[in-house]
Chain A
Amino acid sequence: MKKIISLTTLIVLIFSLTVVASAKMTGDDVLNKMEEVRDVQTTQMELKLELYDSSGSKRVRTLRNISKKIERKKALSRFLSPSDVEGTGFLSIDKPEIDDEDMYLYLPALGSVRKISGSQKNGSFVGTDFSYNDLSLIGAENYNDDYKAIVLEENEQEYTLKIIPTDEDIDYKYGKLILSKKTWYPTKVEFYDSRDKLQKILTNYNVKQIQGYWTPQKVIMEDVQKGTKTILYLESVVYNDKVNDRIFSPRYLRRY
C-alpha cells in the first residue's frame, strides 16, 4: 500500500512540475519560440511605404526586401521608387561570432558602396520612421538575437513582454511587446528611449497566413515624439524560394 501511495505521489509531483514548467515560459523562451515558429529560410517581399510628417503630408516609396537565414542572417533592401531614392540599396550581413553585423549602403548618385558605422544604424532608414536596426523587425525577426525578455503579463490570448536590447548598437532602453498566442506574431511593440519616454510604436495589422507563415498585411511605425509615422503595405511576399547567396554581397549591392 505504501508503495502505491509513494508511486502516486511521485506521478502527481512529476505531472505538476511538467504543467508548471510548460505554463511558465520565460521571456527568452517566448522570443525563442517566436523565432522557431517562423523558421523562414528565405523571404522576398515588395512593400509600399507611406511616410507622413506631423502635419499629415505624405511621401510614397516602394521597396524590395530579400532576406536569408541559412548559416547567418543576410538581408538586401532596395528602393524601387520614387526616382530620387530609386536604386538606393542596403545590405546587412550578421556576424554571430562577434555579435555584430556588417552593413553597407549603396547610393546611386555616389556610385559606390560605403560601409556604415555603428552610430548610423540608429539613424532613420532613408527618411522613414524605421532605423536601420528596426528593419530586421519587419517580419518579426531577430528579436531573440537582439533582445532579452521578461514576461510582464500573460492571459489566454497573449503575452506582454518587456524586451531589453542586448545589442549595444540599439539605442532603445527597452520595449514592451504584445504577442498573440494564436499566431506567435507580435501585434504591437512600444519602444522607450533612454529617458523612459515612449518613442515609437510598431503595430502589425491584418496578420494572415501566407504559405503557412503568419504575415501582417500592414505595419505602422509611429514616432510619437516627432508625430510622424510610416505605414508599410505588403504588396507581395514569397517564402522559402531559392535565393542565390551571391546577391548578399557589396558586388550585387552596386549592381542596379
Chain B
Amino acid sequence: MLKRRNFILPIVIFLICSTGVFAKDKLEISGTLDSSIEGISDDGELIGRERLDLELKKNFGFDADMYIDLATYSMKNEDAEIELNEAYLNYYTDNIDWRIGKQIINWGSSYKLQPTDYFNPHDYTAIKPLDEKLGVKAVKGIYYTANGLEITGVITPYFERNKLSEEKENLLKIKGVTGVENDIENIQGGFKITKRAFKGFDLSASTYHGFDKEFIENDKGKFIYPEANRIGFDFIGDFGEMGVWTETAYSIYEDNQFDNRLEAALGIDYKFSDDLYLVGQYYFKGGRLDNEDDIKILNFHADRPIFQFHQIECNINYELETETFVVEPQFNYSLANAVELQIGGTYVDSDDEDDAVVSKLGKDRVYTRLKIEF
C-alpha cells in the first residue's frame, strides 16, 4: 500500500508547490456531487450512496497540464473513504503526448463492453458498473507520425482487479475464495496503432501482456488471475448513415491449462432526426476452462430527449446462455444548468442469477440519483 501512495504523492506535492511558480495559470477547481438512494425490491433494503468528486486542473503553459480527481464516497452509512480516482501529469511534445499517473485508458469503440479495453477494471460497487472504471497507475505515450498514424504505448506497474460489491465478496468467501491477490506486482503493457479516417473508418490494432481482470480456480485449487498475451483489432465507421463497429481481442494464456479465448463485440447505432438514438450490439466472450461457459450477450440501448432538457433512456441486456434479461429504464430530469435528477429501475429476469454475468449489473431495484456538477 505504501508503494501505491508513493506513486501518487509526488504528483500531488508538485501540483501544490507549483501553484506559486506558474501563477499566471490558475488552478481550476470543479467537481461532481452524486447522491443516490436505491430500494432493493427483494428485501426492501434501502441503500444510500454519497460521492463527491473534487477535480483540480492546472495548466503549465501550453506544454503541460495536471489533473486530479479526488473522490470521497460512502455507502450504507459507512465511514467515508477518500481515494484518488485519477491523478496525472500530461506533457506534450511536438509529436508525443505523455501522461503519467493514475488514469483511465479508454481503448475500444464498442458500446460499454469493450474487448480491447485492457487496463481499467470496472467498479461493480457503483450504481452503474459499466459506466464506472477504476484508475490504474500507468505511463502512457502517444506518438503521432507524419503520415497520420497514432502509436500508443502503455505500461502499468500494478495490476488491479474488478471491484466487486461487499455481498459478492462475502459470497466468494463462503465459497472459499480468500487467497486471491489484489495487487499483482508485475508490469502490464500494451501497444496500439490507430489509423483514423481510412476510407471513412478508424482502424486500430493492439497487443497486450497482463492479466485477466476476473479470477478463476486453477487445477491446483487456487484462485488466480491468469496471465495472458492478447492481440486485438478495432474498427468503427459508417455504412450509409448507420454507424458500425467491431472489436475483437484474442487471449493466449501463459498457463496451458486455460483455453485461449476470443472476446468480440459487433454493433450498430442510428440516430433519427427526432434525436431517438438506438444501439444494438452482440458481445461474445469464450470460456477459459471446460467448466466455464461462453458468455453471449445482446445489448440494446435507446435514448431520446423529451421537453428539450430532459431525457428518457433504456438499456436491455439479454444473456443467451443463462436466458437472463436485465432491463434498466431511466428518466433524467434536468433541474437547472448542470443539476440532474435521475429516476430509474432495474428488472432482472433469470433462472440462474448466480451464474449470469449481466446480473452483476444490478438487482431488482428502483433508485433516484441527484447529480450536481460545479
Contacts and interface: CB of A to CB of B under 8 A. Distances in A.
Interface stretch (B251-259, B305-313, B319-327, B356-364): B305-313
Contacts of A212: none
B307 A120 contact: no
Given A53-B308, A54-B308, A83-B30, A123 B92 contact: no
Interface of B: 30, 90, 92, 97, 104, 106, 109, 142, 144, 150, 196-197, 200, 202, 236-238, 240-244, 269-273, 275, 277, 305, 307-309, 334, 336-338, 340, 373-374
A111 B242 contact: no
Closest 4 CB pairs between A and B?
A: A117-B243, A53-B308, A118-B241, A119-B241
A118 B240 contact: yes
B337 A59 contact: yes
Interface in A27-75: 51-55, 57, 59-60
A53 B272 contact: no
B353 to A, nearest CB: 30
A255 B144 CA distance: 14
Contacts of B338: 82-84
B337 A117 contact: no
A20 interface: no
A110 interface: yes
Contacts of A117: 237-238, 241-244, 269-271
Interface string A71-98: 0000000000011101000000101001
Contacts of B92: 255
Q: Which of B90, B202, B340 has the most CB of A within 10 A?
A: B202
B270 A119 contact: yes
Given A123-B277, A228-B308, 19 more contacts: A57-B309, A59-B337, A83-B338, A84-B338, A86-B30, A93-B197, A102-B196, A111-B104, A114-B236, A117-B243, A117-B271, A118-B243, A119-B269, A119-B272, A120-B243, A124-B275, A127-B308, A127-B309, A255-B92
Interface in A112-164: 112, 114-120, 122-124, 127, 131
A95 B373 CA distance: 37
A82 B31 CA distance: 12
A39 B161 CA distance: 56
Contact of A119 (B106, B142, B237, B243): B243
A169 interface: yes
Contacts of A171: 273
Contacts of A84: 337-338, 340, 373
Contacts of B270: 117, 119
A118 B337 contact: no
Nearest to A228: B308
B271 A123 contact: yes
A120 B241 CA distance: 8
B373 A59 contact: no
B305 A255 contact: no
21 contacts: A53-B307, A53-B308, A53-B309, A57-B309, A83-B338, A84-B340, A86-B30, A95-B197, A114-B109, A115-B243, A117-B243, A117-B244, A117-B269, A119-B271, A120-B243, A120-B277, A123-B272, A124-B275, A127-B308, A171-B273, A255-B92
B307 A112 contact: no
Contacts of A52: 308
Contacts of A82: 337-338, 373
Contacts, number: 102
Contacts of A111: 104, 106
A196 interface: no
A59 B338 CA distance: 9
Contacts of A51: 308-309
B334 A115 contact: no
A44 B169 CA distance: 54
B236 A115 contact: yes
A102 B237 CA distance: 10
A165 B242 CA distance: 19
Contacts of A250: 150, 196
Nearest to B308: A53
B307 A54 contact: yes
A170 B239 CA distance: 16
Contacts of B97: 251, 255
A124 B305 contact: yes
Contacts of B309: 51, 53, 57, 59, 127
Contacts of A131: 273
A60 to B, nearest CB: 6
A117 B236 CA distance: 9
A126 to B, nearest CB: 11
A48 B30 CA distance: 21
A83 B374 contact: yes
A204 B158 CA distance: 57
Contact of A112 (B30, B90, B106, B243): B106
A6 B281 CA distance: 78
A235 interface: no
